[in-house]
Amino acid sequence: MRRNDGRLDALDLPLIKRLPAPIRENLLKHAIEHQVSPGAILFEQGHPPNFQHVVVAGSVQLIGRSAQREVLIEVVRAPELVIPAAVVMNAPYLMRARVPEPSRILLIHGEVFRDAIADEPLLAREVIRSLAGQFRRMVRQVKNLKLRSATERVGHYVLTLSNRQGTPHRAILPYEKNLIASELGLARESFSRALSMLRASGVVVRGETIVIADPKRLAAEFERDPFIDDEGFKDSDRS
């Protein structure tokens, strides 16, 4: 069902709505839905996966950390599972999960979730689909990092962001520039330098807004590769 404000309800999640009623009811009986504020930490890397987190609305940033720094690995958006591999394997998380915007998160008890996967093929298929989609996105990310220069990465990022936001002539940076830079495998200075290089392509940075003078020209200069670029282009890999 839908909420009165039109937003997705937990019962509309692909993970939930296709299940037989007894399995669905048992999962939800052992679940809690939270309204989460920006900046909240869902879990730290190294923590045991006590719950399967599902993004009902909003998003979750997955952060890799070392003693010296932290980098943004991926952003999980509704209606996806957050690191299901750790929950399925009952192994410690390899990343921290942080909420960057007002979000709603469904927490399903980990042991109940694993038992349901073992008992219900439909749920197992949904989890496999989620794992496969996340694996393919990770491969695309690695290819983007290894096959493209800094300027190419930033140019494609701007195009993807503009496409996702539905505004061909501009893109609004979704979070801090240092996090975006880390997601693209760059230092903050290298990210700023690459943005400056895009001025020759008609791209102007105004605070958190990136103005694109000629979207067709930019798209021609940074041609989409279907085997690297997915997010923002309605690619079928995103579950």
One-character DSSP codes across 10-35:
GGGSHHHHTS-HHHHHHHHHTEEEEE
pLDDT at 239: 37
Asked if pLDDT for residue 235 goes beyond 90, the answer is no
Domain boundaries in the chain? Answer: 10-145, 149-221
Q: What is the CATH number of domain 149-221?
A: 1.10.10.10
Q: Are 163 and 193 in contact (CB under 8 A)?
A: no
Q: How confident is the model at residue 127 (pLDDT cuts 50, 70, 90)?
A: very high
Residues contacting 31, CB < 8 A, separation 6+:
10, 106, 107, 108, 109
Name the amino acid, one letter, at 72. Answer: L
pLDDT at 14: 85
pLDDT at 18: 86
Could you tell me the end-to-end alpha-carbon distance of the chain, in angstroms, rounded to an integer?
20
The fold for domain 10-145 equals Jelly Rolls (2.60.120)
Residues contacting 148, CB < 8 A, separation 6+:
156, 228
Segment 62-75 mean pLDDT: 94
pLDDT at 87: 98
Mean pLDDT taken over the chain: 91
